[in-house]
Amino acid sequence: MKVSERYSKKLNNQYIEYLNLNKSIDKKSIKALSDYFEKIFLLGDTLFKCILSIYGSDINISKKVFSRKKTLSTLRFNYYPNQKKPVEISKQDGVYLGCETHVDSGIFTVLYQDKKGGLQVQNRNNKKWYDVPFNRNALIVNTGLALEFLSKGKFKATNHRVLWNKTKRMSIPFFFEPSYDFKMNKSFFTNKPNHKKGLYFEKFLNKSLKKFVEYQR
Pairing of strands 199-200, 183-184: antiparallel
- Residue 1's pLDDT band, with cuts at 50, 70 and 90, is low
Alpha-carbon gap, residue 96 to 78, rounded angstroms? 18
Q: What percent of the chain has pLDDT over 90?
A: 55
User: Where in the sequence is the domain holding 172, given as residue range(s)?
Assistant: 5-215
- Residue 211's pLDDT band, with cuts at 50, 70 and 90, is low
| C-alpha of 213 from chain center | 17
Alpha-carbon gap, residue 151 to 158, rounded angstroms? 14
What's the pLDDT score for residue 98? 85
Mean pLDDT score, 16-45: 89
Mean pLDDT score, 61-81: 90
**Residue 19: which CATH number?**
2.60.120.330
What one-character-per-residue DSSP string does 65-104 give? H--TTTB--EE--EEE---SS-SEE-TTT--EEEEEEE--
What's the pLDDT score for residue 85? 84
**How many domains is the chain built from?**
1
